[in-house]
């Protein structure tokens, strides 16, 4: 980073502060012209209060200008040349390389610089009287400086023009955190608490969890050991700004003016204000990093300013260059092969032959079209991997593989087609089921949902899953066991334990040693902690019932269960901490786990140690998921990001930045283009895998989202959560918040029409791509799944009102 | 910015020190460290708070992954385990400890409230004797359609339909076709919908009032019936016709709750006025008739309303100040109704007769009851039967209490009633032979009579040895 300016690293390399130096009061005529323009602008926009404040400000400015005229001994230069500005800034950026050191450490140079830039006389006296102790002590030890400095900064931000405010607001949070930590570090506990209570409320909407965490840090020792605090201390917090916005900020920091700080400019005339400002400056220099974009302020949505801030440098892996931007990283990683996985040629011919044979004898007239479905062209725009690029699989295919492929093609033909675009394109409101036409569109757009409700669960059901052929339902319980149900009413029989292995010759002798009596449910016992995830093996597909089940638990193991014997076959140890999630790869054999130890791991069923470890997340990995072609692995983490890894190389290839809170679940679209993630910020985000960019954000849930599922055509997303609802989202629609369309007066979506204004206010966080909401009776929906034929299955435990 | 925020979260208010320095000091004193300086205590308190927060944050992860929204002790256990801290033993989510507040220390006002965990003492014997705890039946599931082709079916498994926002035109159309309201299922509003975040929004959906619609014919019938029954407007023939209709007509069950309430209200009004005039007496008489008619009607199904009818009957039976002209008549009728009610419904309600007898006995022997109340109680007991009378008069010494209140040699209706009661217990002999106080056996009988029935009634019975013996001896198996 260059030492010349407060951390401006523009992509084009030019120094923004030099080119966009603020001209606060270059000459009175010019400024009054500008003032006139601003006044007219404010009037045109009808901003009465702003106009009034601005007028007051003008008056004050003229009076101060008069004062300046009377006091020749304070030669505040009315014109700031570029060189001078750079020189002024330079003193604050003396040693930015060492974050622990203060820019004002070298007191002699500080004194010299300060005197040269024309500080008021009393400051000079003060500094000279202190002598070698240094200005830092004054700056750092007086807690009121920080208080004052932050107050000034906040009022400056809030007083800035509407177009700049979203840009400036993100800098409040890191500065707040640093001030608070500084105060704690210095042992000024009361001052820190006072500071916290005064200023935290305005920041708490987004940074709730971090603030809550910080509030408990009250001792210097905690600052040194706490992880969050140390991240603030040692890492640069990246803030994105437009060039003009950054110029205004620099102007304010150096001069106390710029960006028209309504009602706050005066505070900085005093000595205290200057010291407070210097405290802000210190944080800006040492702990912040500015990404100055060349795009105009208005072209960026207000929200995205906030979203591109944070500890980008650590969240985004460092590659060859010093790219800290997630988009730059994603671009640097090149293109991905997102097309469907190829099928071995011999398997394909065998499948087609079987289909042909069956079409002859099948009574179903549709069966003869199966071949047509089998030869569908891959989706355009996606590169398919070759067979050699897939993770290694056995060269020979088995009968079950043929069955699976045949059934897959049949499912494709028999599938209920869901087309949510019908709802929007027809111009009908999406909830309008009153007309026959609307109801028909609804029926074609929205799925049928079958809900499975668990009763009498004790401590809770952390997970459950339906087998791909919907013959089995497995649920993991907090009481450390897994329960298996047959959904078809068949008896689940294990094997007796008292048999001789040499007596088994064929399937009939195997059947003899099956247990005589069984029930339709079965308990699998083996874990010693809550079971957080279960997964059925996908080899049988929708043709036959699965033979294996994987489970992950708080006892740091993943276990493989044979559904033939109904026993535990393997325990995979390796994680040091609870395993949160486990998923089979789309073609079996391999599976991935996600753990609290901040890694995801790849395993194959025949080895008890991990094949790959995917490390890089800064916090728990909450969920894993394979890309449909099994080349990539997605992970969702508590560090507010999701990542995409190359399964075989073990390298991170995409970073999806960022959610406002931890990311709890994720799912890939079956067509391989998109990733959907959901987090504790109650939003679902849709990411384009190719570019790594956020396609859209879908909001509407009012509590944690537990599960996501795409329909087979990837056109519909279904989510279930702790707010006891199942919601359906249109993947292709543009989305956007509902109130916005109303504000513009253009009712682009019919949905807004039917919502009376009072309803609108309460549900303003619902985006327009929310197609339907299906509430349940006190049942948090912990799993949503689509069958291959597009029937939606959801499951959750019923919470009786008495128990809790 | 705040527009996008899904909910208005408030910053955690920074309470300086949730964990008080006093607590630190208490702990240090328990460890024999007496003089802990303030700085150390406050630093320790902050540290403890920070550590607690650490554990809670960790536990919250386990809660989230268990897909719960309530933190349990199990989560804390898991958190302690991964933080490598010795777990806290003895806290189970199944059996959360109850904290009880200790009595304040009088000598230490500044100590503040002290809480302790209730530690129940369990007797070993009782554990052995108690039945084995039955296992819960285990987790089960049910399946239902949450949505069929995008439409949520109106079945009991789904929450009641949310009144959908319909655009004005169709709403108007609905109103004209007079079909509004009928599209909602008749399920009662389920318990609170979740969404702690949007209580205001969910609230209106709760109050889908389920209205029981009375047909206009029934409303008219009700109005006519009540007006014709009450004395000021009624003549005798109309009233008997109304009562007959109540007694025999089918299809009145929708009216039953209203009639029961009307009767109850009427009784309360009549008794509360306490003016003891003729009119009130007549009103009560009619109301009793109505109750009798309701009980007689086989088609009504009065059972669910018995608990509402009983107070009215008891009020009339046991009230101290009935209009004198009607008192005896009213009490007798009420007693009859009671006995009728018992014979019909004691099989469906096993505890009914004991409950009634208990109430009556309380009325009979209760301290400070008026004579009329006691009289009513005896009448009621007599209506119920022989055993009830014996229970009241002999076993619970109702006769003794009544006798103590009577003047010697008095002959009032109450005394006569008690004697009637005795007669019910055991019929008097046709040729009474007096008990001989000189003979040993007879003397002991007299002793017993005096002990059980009091002097007053013992005198009455002394003239008939068989009767007295009968009353006492029949009592024996009971006692």
Strand (E) or helix (H) holding A150:
helix A143-159
Query: Closest-CA residue in chain B for A459?
Result: B93
> Global pTM?
0.63
pLDDT band for position A23 (cuts 50, 70, 90): very low
Pairing between strand A705-710 and A694-699?
unpaired
Distance CA B306, CA B472 (A): 35
Report if residue A332 sits inside a domain: no
Residue with tokens 């330079």: A90
CA distances A691 to A333, A654, A715, Å, are 10, 9, 19
Distance CA B14, CA A198 (A): 10
Q: CB distance A529–B78 less than 8 Å? A: yes
Cis peptide before A757 (omega within 30 of 0): no
Q: CB distance A442–B149 less than 8 Å? A: yes
Q: Residue B11: which of A204, A302, A447 has the nearest Cβ?
A: A204
Helix H segments across B145-303?
168-177, 199-206, 216-229, 236-248, 256-273, 278-296
Report if residue A804 sits inside a domain: no
Task: Pick from A364-378, A421-435, A756-770 the range whose average pLDDT is largest.
Answer: A364-378
Distance CA A51, CA A583 (A): 59
Report if residue A500 sits inside a domain: no
Q: What is the pLDDT of residue B267?
A: 83
Give the length of chain A: 804
Residue B472 structure tokens: 């006492």
A55 with A121, same domain: the answer is: no
Report if residue A44 sits inside a domain: yes
pLDDT digits (tens, 9 = 90+) for B11-62: 444 445 678 888 888 888 888 888 888 888 888 888 888 888 889 999 999 9
Domain boundaries B222-384, CATH class: mainly alpha
For A523, phi and psi rounded to 5 degrees? -105, 130
- Chain A CB contacts of B164 below 8 Å: 431
Measuring CA to CA, which residue among A533, A752, A753 is closest to residue A664? A533
In this prediction, what percent of chain A has a pLDDT beyond 70? Answer: 70
Distance CA A751, CA A748 (A): 9
**Could you tell me the residue range of the domain that residue A372 belongs to?**
345-377+385-414
| B165 near A CB under 8 A | yes
A748 with A791, same domain: the answer is: no
Instruction: Count how many Cα atoms sit within 13 Å of the Cα of residue B208 in the half-sphere of its side chain.
Output: 21
Query: Closest-CA residue in chain B for A736?
Result: B4
Q: CB distance B165–A756 less than 8 Å? A: yes
A423 with A410, same domain: the answer is: no
Cα of B179 to nearest chain A Cα, Å: 14
Q: CB distance B158–A219 less than 8 Å? A: no
Q: CB distance A754–B167 less than 8 Å? A: yes
CA distances B440 to B444, B445, B446, B451, Å, are 6, 9, 10, 17
| B308 near A CB under 8 A | no
Residue with tokens 């809030």: A158
Q: Residue A456: which of B12, B50, B137 has the nearest Cβ?
A: B137
Distance CA A458, CA B71 (A): 14
Q: What's the helix, strand, coil split of chain B in %, to 5?
A: 55, 5, 40
A49 with A129, same domain: the answer is: no
Q: CB distance B72–A459 less than 8 Å? A: yes
Report if residue A727 sits inside a domain: yes
Domain B18-97 belongs to what architecture?
Answer: Orthogonal Bundle (1.10)
> Is A723:A735 a contact under the CB 8 Å cutoff?
no
The one-character DSSP state at A84 is H
| B72 near A CB under 8 A | yes
- Chain A CB contacts of B9 below 8 Å: 204-205, 208
Number of domains in chain A: 6
Give the length of chain B: 479
Average pLDDT over residues A563-580: 92
Residue with tokens 């969404």: B195
A681 with A711, same domain: the answer is: yes
Nearest 5°: CA angle at B132, between B127 and B133? Answer: 105
> Is A112:A145 a contact under the CB 8 Å cutoff?
no
| B6 near A CB under 8 A | yes
Report if residue A7 sits inside a domain: no
Other C-beta atoms closer than 10 Å to the C-beta of B328 total 16
Cα of B343 to nearest chain A Cα, Å: 39
Q: Within the 91-150 window of chain B, which residues sit less than 8 Å (CB to CB) from chain A? A: 93-94, 136-150
- Chain A CB contacts of B191 below 8 Å: 778, 801
Strand (E) or helix (H) holding B117:
strand B115-117
A46 with A120, same domain: the answer is: no
Cα of B135 to nearest chain A Cα, Å: 12
> Is A598:A617 a contact under the CB 8 Å cutoff?
yes
A147 with A286, same domain: the answer is: yes
Report if residue A199 sits inside a domain: yes
Q: CB distance A450–B4 less than 8 Å? A: no
Q: CB distance B67–A724 less than 8 Å? A: no
- Chain B CB contacts of A189 below 8 Å: 46
The one-character DSSP state at B254 is G
Q: What is the pLDDT of residue B280?
A: 76
Residue A22 structure tokens: 């603020």
A610 with A684, same domain: the answer is: yes
A42 with A187, same domain: the answer is: no
Work out how many CB contacts closer than 8 A connect A with B.
239
Phi-psi region of A381 (alpha: psi -120 to 50; beta: other; left: phi over 0): left
Q: Residue B67: which of A699, A756, A782 has the nearest Cβ?
A: A782
Query: Closest-CA residue in chain B for A771?
Result: B150
Q: Identify the burial level of A201 via C-beta atoms within 10 angstroms of its C-beta, where 0-12 means exposed, 13-18 middle and 19 or more buried.
A: middle
- Chain A CB contacts of B13 below 8 Å: 197
- Chain A CB contacts of B202 below 8 Å: none
Q: What's the CATH number where A676 sits?
A: 2.130.10.10
- Chain A CB contacts of B162 below 8 Å: 775
* DSSP bridge partners of A559: A551, A571
Distance CA A399, CA A541 (A): 12
pLDDT tens for chain B, 479 residues long, are 333 333 334 444 444 567 888 888 888 888 888 888 888 888 888 888 888 888 999 999 999 999 988 888 889 999 999 998 888 887 777 766 777 887 776 666 666 677 787 777 878 888 788 777 777 778 899 999 999 888 888 888 888 765 544 343 333 333 333 333 333 333 333 333 333 333 333 333 344 444 556 777 788 888 888 777 776 655 777 778 888 888 888 777 778 888 888 888 888 887 776 656 777 777 788 888 888 888 888 777 777 788 788 888 888 888 777 777 777 788 888 888 888 888 877 777 777 778 888 888 888 777 777 777 887 888 888 877 777 787 777 777 777 777 777 776 666 777 777 778 877 777 777 777 777 777 777 777 778 777 777 777 777 777 777 777 777 765 544 43
Distance CA A67, CA A71 (A): 6
The DSSP-derived string for B122-140 is --HHHHHHSPPPPPP---E
Other C-beta atoms closer than 10 Å to the C-beta of B8 total 9
Measuring CA to CA, which residue among A77, A87, A79, A76 is closest to residue A5? A87
Give Cβ neighbours of residue A585 (< 8 Å, ≥ 6 apart): A391, A538, A591, A592, A626, A630, A647
Nearest 5°: CA angle at B430, between B429 and B435? Answer: 50
More confident residue, A685 or A116: A685
- Chain B CB contacts of A763 below 8 Å: 201
pLDDT digits (tens, 9 = 90+) for A67-113: 444 444 433 334 444 555 444 444 444 333 343 434 334 444 444 44
Residue A19 structure tokens: 């080119």
Distance CA A197, CA A215 (A): 9
Other C-beta atoms closer than 10 Å to the C-beta of A249 total 28
Q: CB distance A454–B140 less than 8 Å? A: yes
The helix/strand/coil state of B321 is coil
Residue A406 structure tokens: 């045949």
A775 with A722, same domain: the answer is: yes
Q: CB distance A455–B142 less than 8 Å? A: yes
Q: Give domain limits for chain B.
A: 18-97, 222-384
Distance CA B333, CA A669 (A): 80
A54 with A97, same domain: the answer is: no
Distance CA A134, CA A130 (A): 7
Distance CA B347, CA B349 (A): 5
pLDDT digits (tens, 9 = 90+) for A404-435: 988 888 888 888 888 877 776 544 444 444 56
A438 with A462, same domain: the answer is: no
Report if residue A8 sits inside a domain: no
Cα of A456 to nearest chain B Cα, Å: 5
Query: Closest-CA residue in chain A for B199?
Result: A762
């Amino acid at each position: 980073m260059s030492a010349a300016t407060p951390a401006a690293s523009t992509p084009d390399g030019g120094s923004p502060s030099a080119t966009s130096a603020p001209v606060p009061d270059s000459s009175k005529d010019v400024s009054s012209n500008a003032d006139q323009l601003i006044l007219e602008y404010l009037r045109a926009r009808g901003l009465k209060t702003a106009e009034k404040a601005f007028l007051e400000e003008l008056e004050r400015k003229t009076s101060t200008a008069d004062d300046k005229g009377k006091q020749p001994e304070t030669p505040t230069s009315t014109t700031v040349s570029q060189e001078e500005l750079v020189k002024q800034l330079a003193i604050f950026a003396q040693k930015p390389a060492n974050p622990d050191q203060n820019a004002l450490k070298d007191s002699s140079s500080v004194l010299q610089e300060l005197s040269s830039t024309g500080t008021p006389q009393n400051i000079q006296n003060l500094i000279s009287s202190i002598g070698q102790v240094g200005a830092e002590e004054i700056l750092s030890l007086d807690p009121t400086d920080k208080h004052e400095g932050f107050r000034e900064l906040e009022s400056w931000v809030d007083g800035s023009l509407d177009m700049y405010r979203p840009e400036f607001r993100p800098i409040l949070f890191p500065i707040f955190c640093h001030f608070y930590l500084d105060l704690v570090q210095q042992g000024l506990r009361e001052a820190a608490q006072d500071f916290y209570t005064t200023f935290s409320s305005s920041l708490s909407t987004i940074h709730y969890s971090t603030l809550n965490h910080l509030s408990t840090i009250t001792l210097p020792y905690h600052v040194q050991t706490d992880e969050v605090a140390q991240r603030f201390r040692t890492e640069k917090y990246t803030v994105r700004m437009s060039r003009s916005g950054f110029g205004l900020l620099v102007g304010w920091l150096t001069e106390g003016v710029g960006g028209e700080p309504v009602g706050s400019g005066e505070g900085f005339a005093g000595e205290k204000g200057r010291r407070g400002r210097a405290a802000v400056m210190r944080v800006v220099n040492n702990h912040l990093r500015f990404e100055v974009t060349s795009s105009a302020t208005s072209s960026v949505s207000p929200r995205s300013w906030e979203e591109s801030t944070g500890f980008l440098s650590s969240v985004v892996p460092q590659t060859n260059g010093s790219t800290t931007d997630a988009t730059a990283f994603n671009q640097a990683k090149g293109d991905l092969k997102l097309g469907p996985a190829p099928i071995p040629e011999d398997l394909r011919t065998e499948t087609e032959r079987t289909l042909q044979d069956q079409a002859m004898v099948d009574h179903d007239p549709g069966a003869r079209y199966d071949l047509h479905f089998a030869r569908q062209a891959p989706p355009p725009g996606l590169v398919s991997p070759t067979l050699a690029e897939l993770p290694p699989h056995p060269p020979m295919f088995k009968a079950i593989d043929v069955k699976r492929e045949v059934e897959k093609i049949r499912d494709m033909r028999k599938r209920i087609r869901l087309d949510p675009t019908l709802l929007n394109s027809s111009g009908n409101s999406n909830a309008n089921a009153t007309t026959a036409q609307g109801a028909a569109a609804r029926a074609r757009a929205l799925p049928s949902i079958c809900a499975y409700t668990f009763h009498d669960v004790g401590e809770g059901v952390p997970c459950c899953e339906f087998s791909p052929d919907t013959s089995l339902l497995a649920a993991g319980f907090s009481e450390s066991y897994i329960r298996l149900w047959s959904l078809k009413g068949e008896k689940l029989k294990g094997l007796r334990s008292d048999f001789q292995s040499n007596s088994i010759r064929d399937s009939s002798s195997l059947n003899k040693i099956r247990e005589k009596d069984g029930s339709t449910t079965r308990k699998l016992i083996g874990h010693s902690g809550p079971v957080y995830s279960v997964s059925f093996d996908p080899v049988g597909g929708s043709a036959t019932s699965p033979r294996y089940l994987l489970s992950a638990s708080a006892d740091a193991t993943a276990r493989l269960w044979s559904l033939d014997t109904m026993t535990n076959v393997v325990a995979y140890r390796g994680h040091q901490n609870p395993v949160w999630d486990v998923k089979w790869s789309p073609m079996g054999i391999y599976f991935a786990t996600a753990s609290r130890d901040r890694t995801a791991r790849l395993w194959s069923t025949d080895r008890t140690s991990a094949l790959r470890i995917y490390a890089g997340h800064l916090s728990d990995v909450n969920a894993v998921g394979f890309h449909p072609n099994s080349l990539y692995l997605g992970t969702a983490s508590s560090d507010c990001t999701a990542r995409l890894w190359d399964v075989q190389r073990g390298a991170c290839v995409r970073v999806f930045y960022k959610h406002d809170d931890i990311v709890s679940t994720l799912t890939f679209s079956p067509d391989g283009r998109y990733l959907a993630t959901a987090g504790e910020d109650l939003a679902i985000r849709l990411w384009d895998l190719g570019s790594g960019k956020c396609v859209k954000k879908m909001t509407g849930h009012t509590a944690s989202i537990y599960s996501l599922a795409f329909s087979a055509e990837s056109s519909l997303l279904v989510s279930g959560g702790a707010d006891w609802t199942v919601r359906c989202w249109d993947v292709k629609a543009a989305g956007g918040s509902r109130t916005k369309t109303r504000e513009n007066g253009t009712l682009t979506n019919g949905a807004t029409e039917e919502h009376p204004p009072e309803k609108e206010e309460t549900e303003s966080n619902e985006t327009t791509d929310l197609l339907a909401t299906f509430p349940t009776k006190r049942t948090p929906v912990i799993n949503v799944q689509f069958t291959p034929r597009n029937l939606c299955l959801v499951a959750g435990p019923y919470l009786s009102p008495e128990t809790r | 910015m705040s527009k996008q925020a899904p909910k208005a979260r408030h910053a955690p208010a920074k309470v300086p020190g949730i964990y008080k320095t006093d607590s630190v000091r208490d702990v240090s004193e328990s460890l024999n460290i007496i003089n802990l300086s303030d700085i150390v205590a406050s630093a320790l308190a902050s540290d403890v708070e920070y550590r607690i927060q650490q554990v809670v944050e960790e536990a919250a992860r386990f809660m989230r992954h268990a897909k719960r929204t309530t933190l349990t002790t199990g989560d804390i256990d898991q958190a302690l385990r991964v933080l490598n801290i010795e777990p806290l033993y003895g806290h189970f989510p199944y059996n959360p400890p109850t904290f009880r507040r200790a009595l304040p220390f009088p000598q230490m006002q500044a100590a503040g409230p002290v809480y302790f965990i209730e530690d129940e003492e369990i007797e070993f014997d009782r554990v052995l004797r108690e039945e084995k705890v039955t296992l819960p039946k285990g987790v089960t599931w049910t399946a239902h359609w949450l949505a069929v082709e995008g439409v949520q079916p109106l079945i009991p498994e789904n929450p009641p339909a949310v009144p959908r926002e319909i655009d004005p035109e169709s709403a108007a159309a609905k109103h004209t076709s007079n079909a509004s309201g009928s599209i909602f299922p008749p399920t009662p509003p389920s318990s609170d919908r979740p969404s702690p975040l949007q209580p205001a929004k969910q609230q209106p959906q709760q109050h889908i009032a389920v209205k029981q619609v009375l047909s206009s014919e029934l409303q008219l019938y009700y109005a006519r019936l009540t007006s014709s029954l009450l004395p000021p407007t009624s003549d005798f023939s109309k009233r008997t016709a109304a009562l007959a209709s109540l007694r025999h007509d089918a299809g009145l069950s929708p009216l039953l709750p209203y009639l029961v309430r009307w009767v109850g209200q009427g009784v309360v009004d009549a008794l509360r006025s306490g003016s003891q005039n003729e009119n009130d007496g007549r009103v009560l008489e009619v109301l009793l008739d109505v109750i009798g008619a309701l009980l007689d009607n086989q088609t009504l199904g009065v059972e669910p309303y018995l608990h509402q009818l009983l107070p009215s009957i008891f009020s009339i039976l046991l009230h101290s100040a009935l209009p004198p002209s009607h008192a005896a008549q009213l009490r007798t009728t009420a007693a009859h109704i009671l006995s009728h009610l018992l014979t019909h419904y004691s099989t469906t309600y096993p505890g009914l007769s004991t409950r009634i007898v208990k109430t009556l006995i309380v009325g009979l022997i209760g301290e400070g009851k008026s004579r009329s109340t006691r009289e009513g109680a005896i009448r009621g007991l007599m209506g119920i039967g022989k055993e009830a009378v014996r229970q009241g008069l002999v076993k619970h010494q109702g006769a003794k209490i009544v006798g103590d209140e009577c003047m010697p040699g008095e002959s009032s209706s109450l005394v006569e009633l008690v004697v009637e009661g005795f007669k019910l217990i055991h019929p008097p002999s046709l040729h009474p032979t007096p008990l001989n106080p000189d003979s040993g056996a007879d003397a002991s009988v007299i002793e017993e009579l005096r002990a059980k029935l009091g002097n007053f009634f013992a005198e009455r019975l002394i003239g008939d040895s068989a009767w007295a013996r009968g009353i006492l001896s029949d009592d024996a198996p009971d006692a």
